[in-house]
Structure formats: C-alpha cells, structure tokens
Amino acid sequence: MPSLADATPPIALGALDGRYRVAVAPLVDHLSEAALNRERVHVEVEWLVFQTSHGVVPGVRKLTDDEVAALRQVVTDFGPDDVAELGDIERVTVHDVKAVEYYLKRRLAAIAPAEEDKGLAELIHFGCTSEDVNNLSYALMVKGAVTEVWLPKARALVDQLATMARELRDTPLLAHTHGQPATPTTMGKELAVLAWRLTRQLRRVERQEYLGKFNGATGTYGAHLLALPDVDWPAVSREFVEGLGLTWNPLTTQIESHDWQAELYADLARFNRILHNLCTDVWTYISMGYFAQVRGQGTVGSSTMPHKVNPIRFENAEANLEVSNALLDVLGSTLVESRMQRDLTDSSMQRNIGTAFGHGLLALDNVARGLAGLDAVPAAMAADLEANWEVLAEPIQSAMRALGAQGVPGMEEPYERLKELTRGRRINGDDLREFVRGLGLPADVEARFLELTPQTYTALASRLVDYLP
C-alpha cells in the first residue's frame, strides 16, 4: 500500500490546510511560517535602514534612496523561492533567525556590492538577540491578521446580524426562559442583543495594543552599551519599535512578555463564545420552525431523508469555535509565563496562533453563510404565541399591584390569583378575558387588557433595536 505521506504535492494533515483551505487562505499571508520569515526579513531590513539613516553607528554611510527601496523590495517580493532558500540556509545554521540574517546579507551584497560597503552587512542583526526580531515579527503578523482579515470578517458578520435584527424588529416571538414560555419579545430584539454583545467585543479588539521590545539578550542593552556607549539606546529602541507601528515595551526580559497577546486572545475567545451562543440559539429557533432554511436548495440536507435541510453551518461553526477557543485559552495562559529571563515554551506555542485564528475565521464564514440561508417564519412564531396566553399573567398581576398600591380596592393577592388561573394549565383568550372582566379593574385598565394578546405584548422590544450602532 502506498504511503499517503509520500504524495506530491504533500497532503495536508489538518483540515485548515485541506478541506477548509479556501475559507482560511487570507491568514496564510499573516500567520504562516513563511509569513513569519517575511516579517523577520522586514524587521531586519528596517533595522538596517534605521541604523544608517539615524547615524546610530558613527562613520557608517547612509544608504541611498535606491538602496533602501531595493532592500524593501526584498520584503515586498518575498515568495516561495525565498522560502525555499531560507530553508536551505537553515539546514546549515540549524537556527531560523540566523538563516534570515545570512539570507539578507546575500541580498545586501547584490544591492551594495562595492568593496567599501562590505562592512554594512555587519549591521544586519547588530545588537539583536533572536527575540528582538521574533517579538516584533509576531506583533506585526498578529496585528495584520487582526486588522486586515479577522476584523473585516467579524464586522461584516455583525453588520449582517444587525440588518436581520432591524428587518425582524416587529416580528413577535414567544420568549423562553429556563426553556419555558415567557414574556413575548421580538425576533429582531433577540438578534439585536447578540449583535450588541458582539459589537462590544469588536470595540475591545479594535483598541488592542501590539507591543514590541528591542533591548538585547536580557532586556538591559548590555552589548549595545558596551559597543556604543554614547548612544541613547532606550530612545533608539523606542523610535524603532514605534516606527514599525507598534507600542514600545520598555521593561522586559529576553522576551517581550506577551501580556498583550493574552489580552487579545481573551477578547477573541469572548467574541467566539458569544458567537457560539448565537449558533445554539439560531439552531434552536430553526428546530422550532421559527426559521426556514429555504435558500441554496441544491445542497443535500440528509443522505437518506430528502425532506431535511440540516443546520450544518451553525453546527460546523460551534465545533470550530470550540477548537479556536481551546487554542486561544492555552495561548493566553501559557504565553504570560517564562522561567526567569527566558525559556523556549513561547516559541513552540506561538506557532499555533494561525491555527487558533483559522478555526475562528472558518466559524465566522460558516455563521455568515448560515444566516444568509435563513428566512423567518412569522406564522410559526405566531402559532406558539397563540398557544400560550398564560404569559399575559405577568402584566395583569403587575397592573393589579400598582393599582393596589394606589388604594384601588379588590386588588389583593394579584400574583396568587394569576398563579391559580395559569400555573400547570393552558388557557385561551376567552379564558383570560373572562378572568379580566371579573377582577374589578378600572374601566380603562380593563379595556387595555381585554385588547391585549400574546402577539401584541412585546412592549418596547421593537424600539430597543434602535440602540444598535
């Protein structure tokens, strides 16, 4: 039997690089191993440019504009051939960041080939420990993944949900608390609650800081200061890090402490958990007939039951949200710890960031597709409301309490009287109206309750949708 491991091109081990590749492909440019190497090249190039343009090392000439442009083009043009070349170098160095240094020295030799320029190559990776390059690279990668991929997809989904909420703002819905019939609401208001919750988490993610450090082997600028004692190294570090679009972290060990990553992953996980709640609620509404899955009927719902259209988008999203959160949680809890000045657990752990984002992005895609395939069924919602007139016991006993407090006679024990009428039994409209007529309510109050139905008892639900941004 041939080994599938020997197939060409290689067969993906995981679903994200196999079955679901199309949905998560945009993350490859940000969170793959190749993207990590491209960002390493980016950081090293910018550090070389910064040193020469700011005169960090006395006597070193400034790179020309053409040379700077050519170096930055190395980053722009970074592709599969460069990945392969780096792999060849790393097989010799057995060190990924050192391989980037040697790779870039080759490029610099072609850009500035003059004999007097050979010393420029020694400024590539000057004063750096590997983590100076890595932490900045990961910060840039994650920032790009969030701002260019995850946030646009998440915003689009929340906008889609908010649009549904507005469209269904006036559609009455029998609420269920503890699984039991409860005070009616509207489908739009219930979807708006979820959209509001998700929006708050989006705002937290949008405010996220992405920290970076650039201070040497144990965060003391030790080698920097002995090599060049007249340089204000914290000022150089800060300007360089902020020039990359990151927030400078002045106090670290060998590694940037990753607290910002833990903060971000907690917010992403909370967004995912709210989205999971949406999936289970919509799945339940589908099972109750409140939504029909009538679009995209070319799909097969069940392999044996032709009548079925299974809510697979929401089920798939649930599973992927759970996988994403498992990874986000372990990333957040593990990355904030490092033995004394450095251990290597974060290096292995951070290579799972792309997988965590990938499953979350796949879930966003599935929920969006699932929502797009739904049509509300107001008749089914109305039928459940009509079958549950007992939910009107709440406003009647509340009105009686208010009247009793105002001294209206005959309003004693309203809760107990409504409980006797409704608990453990079904009533219809005629039963309730007969009960109301016997309460001795003021004429205007009685008239209000005689006109009330479960379908009209939605209070301010429609108006509350306007709180959505």
Fold of 389-453: Ribonucleotide Reductase Protein R1; domain 1 (1.10.40)
56 Cβ contact partners less than 8 Å away, ≥ 6 residues apart:
50, 228, 231, 236
53 φ, ψ to 5°?
-75, -25
CATH 1.10.275.10 fits 25-128, yes or no: yes
Strand 172-177 and strand 180-186: the pairing is antiparallel
**Alpha-carbon gap, residue 153 to 316, rounded angstroms:** 17
pLDDT tens per residue across span 353-402? 999 999 999 999 999 999 999 999 999 999 999 999 999 988 988 988 99
Q: What pLDDT is stored for residue 301 in this prediction?
A: 53
pLDDT of residue 294: 75
Which pLDDT belongs to residue 447?
A: 94
Q: Is 230 exposed, middle or buried (0-12, 13-18, 19+ CB in 10 A)?
A: exposed
CA distance 183 to 174: 7
User: If phi over 0 gives left and psi between -120 and 50 gives alpha, with beta otherwise, what is residue 370?
Assistant: alpha
What is the predicted pLDDT for the residue at 432? 85
Helix (H, G, I), strand (E, B) or coil at 181: strand
CATH superfamily to which 131-381 belongs? Fumarase/aspartase (Central domain) (1.20.200.10)
State the 10-residue block means of pLDDT for the chain, 469 residues long.
83 88 94 96 97 94 95 96 94 94 94 83 94 97 98 98 98 96 97 98 98 95 95 97 98 94 98 98 97 67 58 95 97 93 88 96 97 96 95 88 88 81 82 87 92 96 97
Task: Domain ranges for the chain, please list them.
Answer: 25-128, 131-381, 389-453
Q: Which of 53, 95, 287, 302 is catalytic?
A: 302
The number of CA neighbours under 13 Å toward the Cβ of 465 is: 24
Q: What is the pTM of this model?
A: 0.92
Q: Does the annotation count 237 as an active-site position?
A: no
Please check whether residue 101 is in contact with residue 128, taking contact to mean a CB–CB distance below 8 angstroms: no
Going from the C-alpha of 210 to that of each of 40, 144, 170, 341, the distances in angstroms are 16, 10, 42, 21
Beta-strand runs (E) in 140-231: 172-177, 180-186, 211-212
Question: Phi/psi class of residue 181: alpha, beta or left (left: φ > 0; alpha: ψ in -120 to 50)?
Answer: beta
With tokens 């004693």, the residue in question is 412
Q: Are 96 and 44 in contact (CB under 8 A)?
A: no
Q: What is the pLDDT of residue 195?
A: 98
In this prediction, residue 309 carries a pLDDT of 76
Pick the catalytic residue from 178, 303, 307, 348: 178
The tokens for 238 are 């800060």
302 counts as catalytic: yes
Per residue in 70-80, pLDDT (tens digit) is: 999 999 999 99
Here the tokens at position 232 are 């204000």
- In this predicted model, what pLDDT tens digit does every residue of 220-237 receive, in sequence order? 999 999 999 999 999 999
